[in-house]
Chain A
Amino acid sequence: MQASGGATRRQFLKQAGCLLGGALAGVPGMAAASTGGKHCLADVQYPFYGERQQGILTPQQSYVYFLVMDLAVEELNVMREVFQTWTSYAAQLTQGRNVRPYGENQFVPPIDTGEADDLSAYGLTLTFGISPSFLKKLGLQKRAPKEFQDLPLFARDQLRPEWTGGDICIQSCANDAQVAFHAVRQLVRVARANVTMKWSQAGFISADRASDTPRNLFGFKDGTANANTLKEPEKWLWVSEPDWLRGGTYLIVRKIAMHLETWDRTSYREQVRTFGRDRATGAPMGYGKDEFEPLDLSRKDARGQAVISEDSHSALANATGRQMLRRAYSWSDGIHPRTGQFDSGLLFLCYQKSPQQFIDIQSALGNVDRLNEYITHVGSGLFACFPGVREGEYLGQRLLGA
């Protein structure tokens, strides 16, 4: 089963037929997940080669393993080799194969770590990005577009150095957590001498149907406005200059702690006011019936008050007139040692044509967003994601090529 680079949700639905039916009704403990004994999402497969990197427009898979690395060796020819190897590895892994066939010599460690030996592709995508410091360390700063600079500090940021910055990122998404992790593990292992792991985050997000907008840990549908962004992808998403990044995009990652206990003490009405959307339907608050109805920020009630609270998250973001593609995942990492609360949040991943889109929106959220009371930004990164790779080429070739 293959889907093209810009697979729509509808295509995806067709491939993952089990989502529409296929359930073995009545078998306890065997819900929708089985078709003919095999997991219905096992054979979903996206081509690695193409105009765009996968994992951006790809229908959002259920799991992410996101890794940020630093360069251990600041040499261009070494990093070129690393990206060549990663290209060939990623081309295998995303097709549900091990990085290379096992060798004969049993006195050396196996070439693949093996935990995905009996697992298919599960819609695995691997998306690679590099940061401004990557360019600087390799003496390529002249190639950096001028908007490609470290993000400014925003109001209320509590960024921790261990989760901020870094030189390279890999976003691994799949419909199986083990498949997503396995892929990153192989990529790190082969490059271990030349990169050092800085931080990583595993995440999850789910919906029954691929056509449903998944909900975040605050119980709200998250990603509704992406539909607007995707109406004008050239305007909001794909970079046109410089040459090495044409057809690529900027990824911004924010590790955001969400204070679940505080949120759970918040009334339904206040929750709705916080996001400016109805919790049950995801529709604009106050008047909307349908999730995808446009937000009408000018609408007033009988007393002349804005129907959608002006300091709600959606209103503030929408009023900037900017759009971005959001592809966030929830995380939940046990109990916070100091507070005894859930240590959870959102791995906020968004893609845009220029980092300025993020800067404008985050600045608007600033101190005023009602949501701020319940969240804290603790990690951050800005990466340029290369355009897609054609067969015979390697990732970043137009930047790293001799």
Chain B
Amino acid sequence: MHTFNKLALAVGVSAMMAFSAPAMAAVDLSAETRAYREFVIGQIDELEKGTRQFAEALRAGNVAEAKRLYPRIRMYYERSEPIAESFGDLDPRIDAREADLEKDQIWMGFHKIEKILWTQNTTKGTEETAKKLLDDIKELRAKVPTVEVTGELMVQGAVDLLNEVSTTKITGEEEIFSRTDLYDFRANIEGAEKIFELLKPKLKEKDAKLVQTLEQRFAAVNALLDRYKVGEQDYKPYTDLSEADTRQLAEAVNKLGEPLAQMGVLLAP
């Protein structure tokens, strides 16, 4: 969250921003933006499916299954954050962390369930929250197609995904009870990489060296993350990483972030 407030704004306001007036994108990105919209819809479909299973596991009192599902289904949300988080009312209901709460705000969503599951090792008290969460995700699914996806949203979204990693994932403040931060971390990177992949052909025409740099930097971050992989789909607890490990990850992300922002060359008039 947080880092996306400005994006939420950009989605609605970009068209009227004074300085962007002459900046009509010269490159036609309609195919790319369409493909990205479909990608996000696909992710939210999976999110809805996964959340339904998650809610069932919670209702059935199956702690182990719920814990297994939790980090995996969150990845669909984290991957599609540039759009998923752009609904200012829904995001706090789905993804608020305890530390994000304002005075008198009622806590709901994923992280509330996370806290109960991991600190009390029970599903008791999660059922209602899970039901509400599923409703909110259904609402999200319904709203996603209404977002107008632009090239600017994609570029800024990729950068914001990286920023999110730098500011809240590296510090380990996203999943303070489950310590499943590395799932979110990977999903954010994948979300950014998806955008890069979609823009790549056009980007190559404009700046082949940038494409090459970005391929290397993504590979470097992914190779580091692979070290902490367990089996096909899972990751070690974030607390297993030493300070040197996290610093190394942080640096790899920074080295990716700078050139990633240069994808904006595509949007030059």
Interface residues of A in 98-152 (CB under 8 A from B): 104-109
Say if the beta carbon of B264 comes within 8 Å of chain A: yes
Minimum Cβ distance to chain A for residue B195 (Å):
14
Contact B268 A193 (CB under 8 A): no
Contact A192:B155 (CB < 8 A) given known A104-B268, A107-B264, A108-B264: no
Q: Does B144 contact A (CB under 8 A)?
A: no
For the complex, what is the distance from the CA of A56 to the CA of B244, rounded to whole Å?
34
Does any Cβ of A come within 8 Å of B179's Cβ?
no
B260 to chain A, nearest CB (A): 10
**B264 — which chain A residues lie within 8 A by C-beta?**
105, 107-109
B255 touches A105 (CB 8 A): no
A189-B258, A193-B217 given; A107·B251 CB < 8 A: no
Are B255 and A193 in touch, CB under 8 angstroms?
A: yes
21 contacts between A and B (CB under 8 A): A104-B269, A105-B23, A105-B264, A105-B265, A105-B267, A105-B268, A106-B19, A106-B20, A106-B23, A107-B265, A107-B266, A107-B268, A108-B264, A108-B268, A109-B262, A109-B264, A192-B255, A192-B258, A193-B213, A193-B217, A193-B255
CA of A307 to CA of B217, assembled, Å: 64
Residues of chain A lying within 8 A (CB to CB) of residue B255 = 72, 192-193
Seen from chain A, the residues whose Cβ lies within 8 Å of a Cβ on chain B are 72, 104-109, 189, 192-193, 196
The count of residues in chain B whose C-beta lies closer than 8 Å to any C-beta of chain A is 20
Q: Does B152 contact A (CB under 8 A)?
A: yes
* A192 and B267 contact, CB distance less than 8 A: no
| B interface residues, Cβ below 8 angstroms from A | 19-20, 23, 152, 155, 213, 217, 251, 254-255, 258-259, 261-262, 264-269
Interface of B, helix, strand, loop or mixed by DSSP: helix
If A105-B267, A107-B268 are given as contacts, then 6 extra A-B residue pairs at C-beta distance below 8 Å, sorted by A number, are A72-B251, A107-B23, A107-B267, A108-B264, A192-B255, A193-B213
| Residues of the B chain whose Cβ atoms lie less than 8 Å from the Cβ of A108 | 261-262, 264-265, 268
In terms of DSSP, what is the predominant structure of the interface of chain A?
loop
Per the bound structure, the CA–CA distance linking A196 and B250 in Å amounts to: 11
Say yes or no: A192-B254 contact (C-beta < 8 A), given A107-B23, A107-B155: yes
Q: Which residues of A contact B23 (CB under 8 A)?
A: 105-107
Taking CB atoms, residues of chain A closer than 8 Å to B258 are 189, 192-193
Min CB distance B33 to A, Å, is 14
A residues less than 8 Å from B19 (CB atoms): 106
Cα distance A345–B268 in the bound complex, in angstroms:
49
By a CB distance below 8 angstroms, the chain B residues around A189 are 258
User: B248 to chain A: closest CB distance in Å?
Assistant: 9
Contacts of B213 in A (CB 8 A): 193
Chain B residues within an 8 Å CB radius of A105? 23, 264-265, 267-269
* Cα–Cα distance between A192 and B23 once the two chains are bound (Å): 29
C-alpha gap A192/B259 in the complex (Å): 10
Contact A193 B259 (CB under 8 A): yes
- Hey, which chain B residues are within 8 Å of A106, CB to CB? 19-20, 23
Bound: A155/B20 CA distance, A: 62
> Beyond A193-B217, A196-B251, is A107–B259 a contact (Cβ under 8 Å)?
no
B262 nearest CB across to chain A (Å) = 6
Partner of B261, one of A104, A109, A193: A109
